[in-house]
Structure formats: C-alpha cells, structure tokens
Amino acid sequence: MKKDQKVIDVGCGTGFLSLKFLEKAECFITGIDSSSEMLTIFTEKTKKLSLPNRICIKLEDAESLQFKPNSFDIVASTVTLHHLKNKYPTIKKIHNILNPKGKFVLGDIDIDTTGNTSDPKRMLKLLKWLKEEFALALTEGGTKAFSRMYDNGKKYILTDGEYCISFKQWKELCFKAKFSKVTVKSLADFKWFKVLVAIK
C-alpha cells in the first residue's frame, strides 16, 4: 500500500478492516455499510483516534455504490458481498469506480449454496461441508453450540439472507466485469475463507 491511496471498504461494519488499512499506510478510507448501528460503532471508534480527514463513513448499500468512475485505488470487502442476491451489478460497479490498474480485494467464505433448497443433492453437498462446523459446535456443547448449528443451518441450507458462491464463481464474475487479472488465495488458518484480488 502507498501513502494517500484511496480505499473504499464495502460493508465496513464497525471498521475492523478500514482501521487495518490505516495501520498499514496513511491512506484515505471511505467506509460504507447499510447498517446505521454498525456505522455508529465505527464512528465512535474513530473519535478516539486522531485521524482527521482520513476516514469518511457513509450509510450506503453495496448495491448502490454511487461514486464517480475512477474514484478509488482499492475496493475492499470482507464477509459482506455474499449478502447480495444478485452480485454481478455490484461487481461491475466496483470495476467502474476503480482507477485504471486499481485492485478489488474480496475476503469471504468459499462455499456454493446456490440451488433449490429442496434439492437433496444440494443438501448432501452442504451437509458434507457443514458437518465439520456442526462437529465443532457439538464439541463445545451447550445452548451456544446449538444456536450456532441452527444459525449455520439457516444461513447455508435455507440461504436466509446469505447467498454464498464459490470463489470459482466470484472469479468468473470478475472476468465477466472485465477485470484483467484475478488471483485467489487460501489462508493457512482458515480452511473455508479465501481472498481474491482482481486488477482492473
């Protein structure tokens, strides 16, 4: 990262990733999120730091992305874009708001939950993936573990507000949106979490 680069954190939440960027370099951060509660916490955090004019926090949906073309050097987003049912229009907008050679950095869970919820083949595929999650919860035991299993079932089997796709599919969407180069990396400590970097 270079000083004064312009970064947008899409689905910034309470600012975890945005603040990591600022630790790395004196950049300009725009954080957008559709939840005012999340942004209130982020705003409170920034008040305790001395970062005048470095952070702009905005209530905005990732599907809207109302910024001028060529506005950012980096568009970053972690565990947010799987919430969008229709992802391609946002990927296109991300490509549009990036500067030439700008980077789109996506961190998310690598699981394809698309398909019909009543399709037994899909269910089997998801259960293969979820059994490790469920086993972990069972080891912990108790109501917290049960609630995590229930939560995971709702999210991934019933796609309740979450529409995960594989990184193979993310990559295809990036190429379709005319990104020139796309790489995907796994993280050693997180089996299901991947990072994609796409260059405009």
Ligand X SMILES: C[S@@+](CC[C@H](N)C(=O)[O-])C[C@H]1O[C@@H](n2cnc3c(N)ncnc32)[C@H](O)[C@@H]1O
Please state the separation of Cα 187 from the chain's center in Å.
15
- How far apart are CB 183 and ligand X at their closest, in Å? 20
- How far apart are CB 161 and ligand X at their closest, in Å? 8
CA dihedral (39, 42, 47, 50) positive or negative: negative
Which among 163, 166, 162, 158 is positioned nearest to 117, based on CA atoms?
158
* 29-88: contacts with ligand X (CB under 6 A): 33-35, 38, 61-63, 78-80, 83-84
- How far apart are CB 78 and ligand X at their closest, in Å? 4
Burial of 64 (0-12, 13-18, 19+ CB in 10 A): exposed
Number of residues this chain uses to bind ligand X (CB under 6 A): 17
Which strands sit side by side in the sheet containing 28-33, from one edge to the other? 55-59, 28-33, 6-10, 72-78, 98-109, 190-199, 181-187
**Binding letters toward ligand X, positions 157-176, x by CB under 6 A:** --------------------
Nearer to ligand X, 38 or 177 (CB): 38
Residues that bind ligand X (CB under 6 A): 11-13, 16-17, 33-35, 38, 61-63, 78-80, 83-84
